[in-house]
Structures are given as structure tokens and as C-alpha cells.
Structure 1
Amino acid sequence: MFPLFRVLWAAAGTLAAPGLRLMLWARARRGKEIAARLGERRGIAALPRPAGKLLWLHAASVGETVSLLPVLCELARQAPEISVLLTTGTVTSAELLAVRLPALGLAGRVTHGFVPLDVPAWVARFLDHWRPDAAAFVESELWPNLLAACTRRRIPLMLINARLSARSFARWRRWPWIARGLLGGFASIRARSAEDAARFAALGAPGVRAVGDLKFAAAELPADPAALAALRAAIGPRPVFLAASTHPGEEAIILAVHHRLTARHRDLLTILVPRHPARGGAIASLPGAAMAPRRSTGAGPPDLREGGLYIADTLGELGVFYRLASLAFIGGSLVPHGGQNPLEAARLGVALVIGPYHQNFAEAVVALAGAGAARTVRDGDELATVVGQWLDDPEARAAMAALGPAAAARFADLPAATAAALRGLVGRRR
């Protein structure tokens, strides 16, 4: 049954190619793709292949990319003879890597590219050029044509930080033969938790091990010292409430929370950092935002006469704002998105509050809440209550924040172990 599915999927990908070209151009007009690099999405490489052994790593977006950075550093230390091609699928991840790779001294060892869409001819063109000695995918990137092409070429495959939600597991169980076919090509699956490992094993995946979550082993988010010093001087002693990585629908809730809190805490500064910076203008036009200053326009935080709301619609500065905040709400959790990564804030000693929709980071939320480093809330009203309590009791807030770094430091040795496993994967290729 799986060979039939594979044939049908390949045919569907080929037939969809003209429409996918149009989709890519439409996405480029909306800023979702880089027009000058659209060829990469069709398997046309923009750079030459490095000489020697090449490991291909693929991370879908920003979160997966950030979790790979410590692994890349360990690979550079353990196996300097191996070059790395790191592909992603989003503009924001490419922009992040343009900053982070040079800062980590990896610019000469790691090449960034955009992953091709799952069209057989585009995948073949990509593999013909790069000829990877091994490939590893982060979390849950399972593209049938791409995996089949790698298997035909006998490229060893690994799934790292493997994730399979209960919902996805239930869906795959309806077609177990397809799941076994897709997962059977992996030499190893390194799951982020025992629950994920059990789900993969139940679907017939070989070589499954629960090794831990790379997001627990990430380094602290960076912060530009000059930008941090300038903002601290501008803000002064005002308390800062940070709403980090917010999604559509959450900003209106945060605005309501802000206006409720400022009735008692008139000097409060609320900083809104949208998950997608391009939404800054739309957020500034929301009722209650009063055209708040936006960092992307060069504006600094408002003083007390101008109000207490600041929209930080820039990329790669979340580390700056976590260092400014005394408490933070983690976005994507008051709307049915699944939440964003709370460990980045906990690592920097910030008191955390998280909404009910945090299933994408359930293990992290349980660990932080169990350690007393985070609180969960059901809605905006409860969010306002908790934040208000912390503003009234700075000592309790500071005590909670101090628990975060230790709770977020699990699996500190995982990047080194993952790098060693990847090095071994490259060694499988003959």
C-alpha cells in the first residue's frame, strides 16, 4: 500500500508544481519568501557545495533553528572536517541565522539554504547539487518525496528532537502502513520525550530513543549590549511587563490587561513583542493601542507622559527585552496556537505566566511550573490578576524568577551527545 501512496504523492507533487510556483511568488509579495532566493525553493542552489563530508540539517522555522545552534557549535568542535548545510523554510529563520552564525563563529562552516518544496524534480535537483553524506531533520518534518529520494540514494537519515503530538499520532494511526513507510527510512529517531518515543514506536519506527529536549539545552538568547544599555536608560526604574511572541487575537487581550493594570500601577511599561514583526503596524492601530511607538520605526519607549505601551516589532531582539522585564507572558498560549518557548525567558531569570494553550511546550511548562518558576492562567482576566499580584509583591516575583535558570537547565549535555550521533550518522555513508 505504501508504494502506491508514494507513487500517488509523487504524481501529486509533479502536477502541483505550476501552482506552487505561483504560490511562491504570491508569498514573496507578502514578505513570506525572499524573491531573490525563490530558486532555492525549486531546488536550484545559490552556492557551491563545500568540499569533503557534508551533513544536511533541516529545521522548519525559528524555534527548531535556535535549538540546533548548540549542536552546530558542538559539531564544529567534535568534527571540524564535516561541513553543514542548514536548510529552513521561513524568512525569519534565515534572518536569524544571518546574525547568529557569524556571532558563533560558524559562518565559514555552516551554509544556509531554503529547503525545496516536496516536488520530485525539485528535490532531485537539490540532492544532485548538494550530495549530502547524511541528513537529519528536526522535530516532525516528514515530506514523502524528499524522504523517498534520500532513501533511494542511500543517504543515512535521522530525526532529532523528534516530536509527535497526540493529535498527529491519532491521525497517523488511521494509515499505519503509510507511517511505517515514511518512518522506516530513518536510521535513528531521537525523541524529545518518553511520550513522543512511545508514539513513534507504536507506528513502527525503528531505532527510537527518548533522549531529551534540545530546547532545554539552548544557550541564553543574545542581546546587543549597546541596545540594552540605551533601553535601560530610557526606561529607568519603571516596572516592565513583557508580552513575548504574541499571536493574532492576543494583542487585544494584552491591551485590556495593560489598561486594567495601569489604573493601579501608573508607571507600568508594557512591551509587546509580536511573534511576526511585520504585524507591528496592525497592532498599533488596534483600539486601546493609541498608536503606540514602534521600535521598527526607530522610536524608543514612551515616557510617563506619552503612555505605557511600546511595540517592539523587530527581529532577533527578544533577548534584549527579556533582560529588561521583571515578568513576562509567553505568547501563543491565550489563543489555540500551542504556545511559544518559555525556556528562553526562564533561562534569563524572568517570572513567567503562560496561558492554557501550551501543548507545543507541555513538558517545558510542566517542568517550570513544577519548579515554581511559572504560573499558568486560563484567560485574560486571570492574567491581569496574576501580573497585578506580582507588581504588588516584587519580592515574591523575584523569588519565582530566580527559580527559572535551574529549571531550564535540564539536558545540558544533550547538544554534545546529539553532535556525536550526527557525526556517527555521517560515518555510515560509504
Structure 2
Amino acid sequence: MGYPFRMTAIPDFLRIDPETRRVSLDGRNPAFYSDPNRVYGLLHQHCPTFFWEEQRQWFFTGYDRVNFLLRDRRFGRQILHVASREELGLPEPEAHLANFDLAERHSLLEIEPPEHTRLRTLVNRAFVSRHIEKLRPEITELAERLIDAFDGQGRVELLSAFADIIPVTMIARMIGIPDEMGPQLLKWSHAYVGMYMFKRSREDEHAADRAAEEFAAYVKTLIAERRREPREDLLTHMIHTEHKGQYLTDDELVSTTIVLLNAGHEATVHQIGNSVRVILESGLSPAELFRDEAATERTVEETLRLCAPVHIFQRWALEDAEIDGVSLKRGDKVSLILAAANLDPKKFSDPLVFKPDRQEGQNLSFGAGIHFCIGAPLARLELNTVLPILFRRLPGLKLAGMPTVKDVYHFHGLERLDLTWG
């Protein structure tokens, strides 16, 4: 993670033609997804806006460009609200993905105003920082209890014993789902987000559709329960709160609950592992990195900048546009590489180096604009709470071997993280 930025040698698995701005790269090559930052550095050096041949799409990596496009209302997360499939030449929905498509139809991540405004307004209040901060004691208690279970052993696989459990438990409790459902929620979520990965196969699609069907059926049973017996939880709030005289439909409630559960833990699980790895590989003193609240916040933001858990956010061109000399037509899809924007040398000095004291601007790991991650305050609170506890409770923490990165690009997380201490 701390190698120098100025590189000239382009590895065999990457082909860059700066003249035509065309790039050839296999997203499933372990040499790439194990260390995507190296490739992002080369793209900034040679071709920050490029056409990825294998993905058949234009990609943007420059910080200012990505930040602008995330907020540019000429681009959106959906297109069918302004044009038909026939107009755009898009294929009809695939029958084997009917359950997945239904669950996504009203997803906060996938819709545009005014529907997005209505749904987000109903949910947003639960995720503002002043409400989220009240969860700190609960997160602390959970982290301490999990560490109690393994601190005497001298070694642990951190993801399964710690990182997997905290985010899913907290978001489930907020929504009103019992703790014991955690393992099943993880299974559904892992299958569901398989739809967004470069390695996606027909088998992955069937698994995602099954997960969507089962996930939705479970959420509908919860909705029925909360209608009969309201509680002090987010699901009850979403069911019984109106916006301009309108309530959420059952389909909207299902989509919103699924996206909150998935987004509320999937990325944070990856980020806990990524952050621990970066800190340990940096050689810097954890006691110094977490010496107080301000230092902790800077450390967490720097790990988010250097090893973001979600790398790509896609947008549809809602009208013809020209961006960085690229002519885009209405209906074209473009991709913004958030993780690469965080490494732009025009924005960050020595961008591939872990420098927790840097103060050069906000990372884009949670996006920007109207689709800025609604769960960002919760994710930040979890990271700022559990990382200091982990390093305080396990002095002398170190890696027990080289961590393996998951083949889940465009997410970025570890297969497992084996640690020792003492």
C-alpha cells in the first residue's frame, strides 16, 4: 500500500492506449483485483478518462470529474423514466431475474426524483449523525463482547469473528430484525450483491434472484407484523409515516429494507478488514493513530480514501453530453471509479501512501450528490468506534500471513484476515 506513486512500467495484464484512450484489462485477473490501486495509479498517469474494452463503457477516474458527475443531473441512476426500452434499444427484462428486478424497482440506489426524494425523506431522519451517535454505546458493547470471545486465544480470523457480525447486527436492530437472523441476512446479501460483480455468471444470477425472492418474502412477514404491532424501529417508522399525504407501498418498503440491509453492512464489513490491514501494513503506531477522537477520525478517513470498499458507481446519460472530450448520447452508461478518484495525484499528494494526518479534501468513498450513501454516518460511527477498541484490546496485533483479496470486484474486500497478538 505504501509504494511510490511514480511508476512507468505497465504490467502485462494491462494495455493502455493514451491516443485513443482505450484500455484492455481483465477485471477478474487476481493481479488486478488484488491490488487495483496500482492500476489506478497508472491510469491517472496515462489515461484518467478511458474506454474499458472488456466492459464496453467509458470510465472516469479524475477526482474533480467524478465529483462533478456524481452531482450532474444530466446523468441518473435510471433511464426508463425518460425513455422507453424500444427508444434506447435496450433488451427486455430477463425472466430468470424477475424477483431481483422487482426488489430493485424501488431501490434508493436505483431511482431518481421525485420518487427518490420521497423515499429518502422518509428514511433519512433515522440516519442523520445526531440519531446515529446514540448507537455508540451499543456498538461498543457488541465489539467488546465479540473480542471477549477470542482475546485469550492469541489468534483470530477477524472477518468471521468480528467484522461480519457488527454491521449486520446494528443495521438489523435499527430496522427491527432480531439478532439471530444475522447469518441468514448475510447469506441473502452475499448472493444478492453478486449481481454487481465482474465475475457474475448465470449461476450467480439465479442465486441473486432466489435470494431476492426469499429476502422479500421475509420482509413482507415483518411488514405484516409491524402493521399489527408497531414498535420503535425504522420499519415501523417507514410503514406509518407519510410524505405529502402518501405512504410507502409494500413493494417500496421491501426494496428500501433490502437496500438498507445490504448497503448498511456489506461495505462496512469490507472496510473493517481493509482498514485493519492498511494500519498493520503501515507500521505506524495504533496507539498514536487512535490517540484521541480527532486522530481516530483522520485515520478512518484515510483508510476509506486508500482502500474504499465500493469502487464503481454507474450512471445513465439522460441527455446528450460531452464530458472530457467524450461525446455521450442519451442512453449511454458511464462508470465513475470512486476508489481511483481518491488516488488522483492532482488532489492528493503521494496518493498511494497511507498518511493519516493529510488534510487535502474529502474522499469520495460514499459518493456525492443525491445518491450520497445514506448509511455513511452509521458506517463512519462503526469504524470510529470498533477500530480503536480492537487495537486497544489486542496489543501487538499483527498479520498472520498475507491477506487474500476476494474476487468480488467492483467491491474490494478480503477473503479472510488472520491475525495474531501478544
Larger radius of gyration: 1
Q: Same fold (TM over 0.5)?
A: no
Q: Say which structure, 1 or 2, has more relative contact order (CA 8 Å, 6+ apart).
A: 2
**Scaled by the length of structure 1, what TM-score is found?**
0.27
**Scaled by the length of structure 2, what TM-score is found?**
0.28
